[in-house]
Structure 1
Amino acid sequence: MEETEVDIDVLIDEMDYIPGHFHLDMNLNFESTSPLNFQGRDVKLKRESLIYELESETGTQQYAIRNLLGVFSFYLEEVEKAKEIFLQILQEDPENLNAWANLAYVYDRLNDEHEAAKCTENLSHLMGLDSDDEAQGNPQLRASRCLAEQGYAYAFDIGLASEEEKMEKLTAGLALYDKALAYGKQAIEIAKDSPPVLNRLSKIFHFLGKQEMAMAVCNMALDVLPNPVLNWQAYCMHAKMLIKLYLRDLERVKMGLGGMPDQKNLFDAKTDLEKVMKVHPCLKTYLSLGQVYYYMGVDAIQELFLVDENALNSALMFFAKAMEFDLGNVLPEIQLLRGKCLRLKNEERNAIECFKEAIELDGVASVHTESFRCLMEMLLTLFSQKKINTEMLMKEVEVWVKKAEKKYPKQRVQQELRLVCRHYTAEVLELSKAMVTRGKTELVKLLFETMKCDFKKGRMNERSLSF
């Protein structure tokens, strides 16, 4: 007797929702414009974060993580490992709709039509789509879990270059959570007593910019389970929010919109992270601690003066420990912060190399252009101190401006050059004159336009550049 095969297109048309992760509107599922090495790096970083998340999960929520781990393995060309992950989920949780759909996708890619059809048939039965056979159990609850797992996945998408993209993906994830609640009715009820659920809600509120709500939910998670061994994620999230609050206030000060940022946020973040360090040392914890110690050791306003050398040395030590991890050497933020520490310690040449490395590691279309500005400032500082000559300065500026124009949005490059020209006007003018003499007019024109824009209120005009 022939087995009845289910037509996947017909099945999809009948669905109010579609199980699985490979169809979701995530950057992960589409061709990336980033070089393959950057895309692979991002996937590996996200997979590492998920592995940390999995360590504290024992209930059904672990399957949201494990399904996504299988998807990441698939995109890292570890197809057999992906198949193994989905099969293991189904051994433990045979009603997991996403695992059945994901496994069908993998079998399809492996050209195993027979196994793919079996997966689709099981999926149809569990969803209650069979016309002549009623599904056992509660299809509504299965649908709710399926949608919640998909909503969770959006928080781990890759290639989100801007805040707008992050908001878009998180909003899509929340829409799936809303749909899950409509099916399942009880997600909300269990949240108040479940630290893992509270931690996820806190993370979502944090990314949506609702810091007060995020902090309140995070505090609830810590009240329910204050033990850092069992709930280190909440301490990490709490520290992350405190650091963000400090940096937000710091930006406001620089714009003249408020008083000095509260140092207590840094000290409290340090306390949280030290608790995590004792039970779960990892790349992100070392990076966060290094960041905290950097801001404790530097003048807050301009970041150009050393106020605590011991704190700065501690920052460098934590960055070094972070770089011992597999992915530590590919994070541009580590190189940027290392460079800023070394600049304060007057190790200019080493600082320059860190800023260059950070630029190289940045993804295409990244808006994190601070490394480029720091590099330009360091080169001009060495020039003003007669530590490099005009020829060397010209060569370096020309090379790295071109790299920046290929990597970052044009507006961001112009913005950073404008700041550099404003603070190093004399050096830029001298460099421009030398470049005109050597016929390098294209870069001079860029610098001139930048300066002209900055000084358009009468402080500078074209006659200032009479060579």
Structure 2
Amino acid sequence: METDNTEDIESLIEDMQYIPGHFHLELSLNCDPVGPVNLRFRDTLLKQESLQAELEVEVGHLQYAVRNLLGLLAFHLDQPDKAEEIFRYKTLTSSVKVRQREIILIMLSVWILVILAASNRNTTLAWCYVGIMLERKDEFSSVPMSIHDCGFSASDPLSCFGTVTFILNLLAKIIFLLGKHDMATGICNMALNILPDPELNWEAYCMRAKINVVVYVNQLEKAKHGMGGVPERQKLADARKDLDKVLTVRPCLRTHLEMAQIYYYMGVDALQETIMVDESSINHALVSLSKALQFKPADSLPDLHVLRGRCLLIKGEEQNAAECFKQAMELERPGSTDTTTLHCLLLTLLNLFILEASDPSSAITQLETWVNKAEERYPQERVKSELRSLYRTHTEEVTELSKTLIRTGRLGLVKRLLETVAPQQLAERRPLARAFSLS
């Protein structure tokens, strides 16, 4: 007589932090809407694109879970026809081939866990995974047991190739997130040795390019703080080659944006981003950004506008750059602690003030307006920190700005600047002009 395990299963689920599968994803679709409409639309659209890429490599019943989520996202994006088409989809894939791919996926997943456990020096855990694999050796014995065998399997060789490279690309992402850049690059190289066609294995090229850019940026930050030598610009050249291959077969928003970043770094000095060394590369970056803007959610990405503003700023187009930074700041989430956009905008408006010395009223008005907006969007301490940084790195310019503000009776911004460089008590007890000690 069979026993009813319903209660046990329900109690088990209640104790879980999340239900296995895609159901633990924080999609926030059935909750009350929060945040600006354009940002909610952007986030939903980006989730849809991410799942669409995942669907290309999912096998077995997992693909139905992904399709269900894609249908749900399409519905929330006001795409009812597309949602209906997705929900009506029926697969014709042979169950035997699907089962073979599932087993290969399990086998390679166990291999990944062994590598991760070993890399963290948890050999006990690694041997546990090996034990699991050995217990299921009868099931695994009917499928190819090596990458080489997968490639020359009598049935479905391309499918096996795709599964193996998918796992390797996933492993590269995990290793990259752990900060092991050399190891992640090596895994990308393995995936590309197996399947070098950029149309079928574009993710490996993108991942390798991203690693090279991140390594370059890390080297750049260390060099700026006197902790290393000049960053390797060859990293940028290698990343550009990889993305060139991807763009020939799969042009998309992300790739164009990453290519623009590469061209930007190729166009500026290796240590001082305020110095342009190759105008052609900066122009290429702007072209890549223009191509990225042709994709639907691009205009709502603050990073894109910040990068475009930086390119325009280094070309001497301060006002156009300021407009880009303003647009990026409008797209920041309220309460954000990342004030990179504010930093760029303040610096640009200060430059405009210096350039328009004969009639600086426009630059001053913009500064007052956007400092007020910044205080509504970012935590107060973050805004003060940026103003303090502006004063410390551009003391002469800020001093001249303060003199002009006092002379024209616009004391609100002066007070904010004063509070960043003097104790609060000092600002309260002394008259504003004397406290600032301007000559």
Q: Which residues in structure 2 correspond to 1:129-168 (within 5 Å)?
A: none
Counterpart of 2:437 in structure 1 is 465
- Residue 296 of structure 1 deviates from its aligned partner by 0.4
| 2:47 partner SS | helix
Counterpart of 1:265 in structure 2 is 235
Q: Which amino acid aligns with 1:261?
A: P
Are the structure 2 counterparts of residues 253 and 63 from structure 1 closer, same or farther at C-alpha, using a change threshold of 3 Å? farther
Q: 1:320 aligns with which of 280, 287, 290?
A: 290
Alignment of 1:330 with 2:331, yes or no, is: no
Once the two structures are superposed, what CA deviation does each residue of 1:124-161 show, in whole Å capped at 9, x if it has no partner?
xxxxxxxxxxxxx9xxx99x99xx9xxxxxxxxxxxxx
Counterpart of 2:255 in structure 1 is 285
- Residue 69 of structure 1 deviates from its aligned partner by 2.1
Are the structure 2 counterparts of residues 266 and 19 from structure 1 closer, same or farther at C-alpha, using a change threshold of 3 Å? closer
| 1:88 partner SS | coil
Unpaired runs of at least 5, structure 2: 110-127, 148-160, 427-433
Once residues 191 and 436 of structure 1 are traced to their aligned partners in structure 2, the CA distance between those partners, rounded to angstroms, is 75
- Residue 413 of structure 1 deviates from its aligned partner by 2.5
Counterpart of 1:155 in structure 2 is none
Once the two structures are superposed, what CA deviation does each residue of 1:286-313 show, in whole Å capped at 9, x if it has no partner?
1111111111011122211111111111
Q: Which amino acid aligns with 1:446?
A: R
| 2:265 partner SS | helix
Once residues 32 and 215 of structure 1 are traced to their aligned partners in structure 2, the CA distance between those partners, rounded to angstroms, is 40
Are the structure 2 counterparts of residues 443 and 267 from structure 1 closer, same or farther at C-alpha, using a change threshold of 3 Å? same
Q: 2:245 aligns with which of 275, 284, 299?
A: 275
Once residues 417 and 9 of structure 1 are traced to their aligned partners in structure 2, the CA distance between those partners, rounded to angstroms, is 59
Q: Which amino acid aligns with 1:39?
A: R
Counterpart of 1:131 in structure 2 is none
Once residues 93 and 78 of structure 1 are traced to their aligned partners in structure 2, the CA distance between those partners, rounded to angstroms, is 30
- Residue 64 of structure 1 deviates from its aligned partner by 5.7
Alignment of 1:247 with 2:217, yes or no, is: yes
Are the structure 2 counterparts of residues 203 and 92 from structure 1 closer, same or farther at C-alpha, using a change threshold of 3 Å? same
Are the structure 2 counterparts of residues 278 and 45 from structure 1 closer, same or farther at C-alpha, using a change threshold of 3 Å? same
Q: Which amino acid aligns with 1:370?
A: T
- Residue 233 of structure 1 deviates from its aligned partner by 1.0
Cα pair 2:172 2:188 within 8 Å, conserved: yes
- Residue 215 of structure 1 deviates from its aligned partner by 2.4
Q: Which residues in structure 2 correspond to 1:290-305 (within 5 Å)?
A: 290-305=260-275
Counterpart of 2:114 in structure 1 is none
Once residues 218 and 365 of structure 1 are traced to their aligned partners in structure 2, the CA distance between those partners, rounded to angstroms, is 37
Q: Which residues in structure 2 correspond to 1:163-182 (within 5 Å)?
A: none
Q: 1:256 aligns with which of 226, 235, 240?
A: 226
Counterpart of 1:49 in structure 2 is 50
Q: Which amino acid aligns with 2:40?
A: Q
Q: Which amino acid aligns with 1:445?
A: K
Flag the structure with more relative contact order, 1 or 2, with Cα contacts below 8 A and sequence separation at least 6.
1
Cα pair 2:169 2:203 within 8 Å, conserved: yes
Once the two structures are superposed, what CA deviation does each residue of 1:264-289 show, in whole Å capped at 9, x if it has no partner?
11000000000101111111111111
Q: Which amino acid aligns with 1:337?
A: L
Root-mean-square deviation (Å)? 4.0
Once residues 218 and 62 of structure 1 are traced to their aligned partners in structure 2, the CA distance between those partners, rounded to angstroms, is 25
Cα pair 1:370 1:416 within 8 Å, conserved: no
Q: Which amino acid aligns with 2:269?
A: D
Once the two structures are superposed, what CA deviation does each residue of 1:292-337 show, in whole Å capped at 9, x if it has no partner?
1111011122211111111111111111111111122222112111
Are the structure 2 counterparts of residues 411 and 305 from structure 1 closer, same or farther at C-alpha, using a change threshold of 3 Å? same
Q: Which amino acid aligns with 1:465?
A: S
Counterpart of 1:372 in structure 2 is 342
Q: Which amino acid aligns with 1:214?
A: A
Q: Which residues in structure 2 correspond to 1:46-445 (within 5 Å)?
A: 46-55=47-56, 57=57, 59-60=59-60, 62-63=63-64, 65-76=66-77, 82=83, 85-86=86-87, 88=89, 194-386=164-356, 389-436=359-406, 440-445=410-415
Moved more, 201-210 or 279-288: 201-210
| 1:401 partner SS | helix
Once residues 371 and 390 of structure 2 are traced to their aligned partners in structure 1, the CA distance between those partners, rounded to angstroms, is 12
TM-score, structure 1 length as denominator?
0.69
- Residue 65 of structure 1 deviates from its aligned partner by 4.0
TM-score, structure 2 length as denominator?
0.73
| 1:327 partner SS | helix
Are the structure 2 counterparts of residues 301 and 32 from structure 1 closer, same or farther at C-alpha, using a change threshold of 3 Å? farther
Cα pair 1:390 1:431 within 8 Å, conserved: no
Counterpart of 1:34 in structure 2 is 35
- Residue 410 of structure 1 deviates from its aligned partner by 3.4
Cα pair 1:250 1:301 within 8 Å, conserved: yes
Counterpart of 1:174 in structure 2 is none
Once residues 191 and 208 of structure 1 are traced to their aligned partners in structure 2, the CA distance between those partners, rounded to angstroms, is 26
Task: Count residues with an aligned counterpart.
Answer: 377
Cα pair 1:404 1:413 within 8 Å, conserved: yes
Cα pair 2:306 2:341 within 8 Å, conserved: yes
| 1:302 partner SS | coil
Alignment of 1:12 with 2:46, yes or no, is: no
Are the structure 2 counterparts of residues 374 and 33 from structure 1 closer, same or farther at C-alpha, using a change threshold of 3 Å? same
Moved more, 314-323 or 193-202: 193-202
| 1:337 partner SS | helix
Cα pair 2:38 2:300 within 8 Å, conserved: no
- Residue 14 of structure 1 deviates from its aligned partner by 5.6
Are the structure 2 counterparts of residues 417 and 287 from structure 1 closer, same or farther at C-alpha, using a change threshold of 3 Å? same
Once residues 132 and 401 of structure 2 are traced to their aligned partners in structure 1, the CA distance between those partners, rounded to angstroms, is 64
Moved more, 413-422 or 185-194: 185-194
Once residues 71 and 93 of structure 2 are traced to their aligned partners in structure 1, the CA distance between those partners, rounded to angstroms, is 15
Once residues 399 and 235 of structure 1 are traced to their aligned partners in structure 2, the CA distance between those partners, rounded to angstroms, is 44
